[in-house]
Amino acid sequence: MTERRAILSGSTFEEQIGYARAVVDGDWVHVSGTTGFDYATMTISDDVVEQAEQCLRNIESALAEARCTLADVVRVRYLLPDRDDFEPCWPVLRRAFGDVRPAATMLVCGLSDPRMKIEIEAYARRPGPAVG
């Protein structure tokens, strides 16, 4: 039977809305749209680049609990209310994914809280046992 389990970050949003930060389904890890909130303090920076950095830290934490890393990400989706905020985030995103080169999409859309300037969703495939 394929493993399926939820990974929770402790975000109050998970409880209020009824979702998990990530779901492990066999070798696949589906990371929910993740914002720049520091879930330990439930605070968020006003700066989009700092939010992008925090998004990635939050995603890394969920991936680590699923026994994988940013290097295992195969698809990423960037959601931003303001298209002009995307380019300033490129250096942060390049540091995280420049060698990984996941499939990527950027969408301009509203987010659930006006303080949120970026949300990142990721899909990863957990590494299998070494062959050879």
pLDDT of residue 59: 97
Each residue's pLDDT tens digit, 58-103: 999 999 999 999 999 999 999 999 999 999 999 999 999 999 999 9
User: Per-residue confidence at 2, pLDDT binned at 50, 70, 90?
Assistant: confident
pLDDT digits (tens, 9 = 90+) for 105-132: 999 999 999 999 999 999 999 987 644 4
Do residues 52 and 93 touch, judged by C-beta distance below 8 A?
Answer: yes
Contacts 24+ apart (CB under 8 A), 10-15: 10/39, 10/40, 11/37, 11/39, 11/42, 12/42
The answer to whether 22 touches 31, Cβ cutoff 8 Å, is: yes
Give 79's DSSP letter.
E
Q: Which CATH number does 4-125 carry?
A: 3.30.1330.40
Of how many residues is the chain composed?
A: 132
CA distance 9 to 24: 14
Give pTM, 2 decimals.
Answer: 0.91
- The pair of structure tokens assigned to 131 is 């062959």
Encode pLDDT of 37-60 as tens digits. 998 888 999 999 999 999 999 999
Place of tokens 């960037």: 78
- Least Cα distance to 27 among 121, 125, 122 occurs for 125
For range 11-23, the mean pLDDT: 88
pLDDT attached to residue 130: 46
Spans of all domains in the chain: 4-125
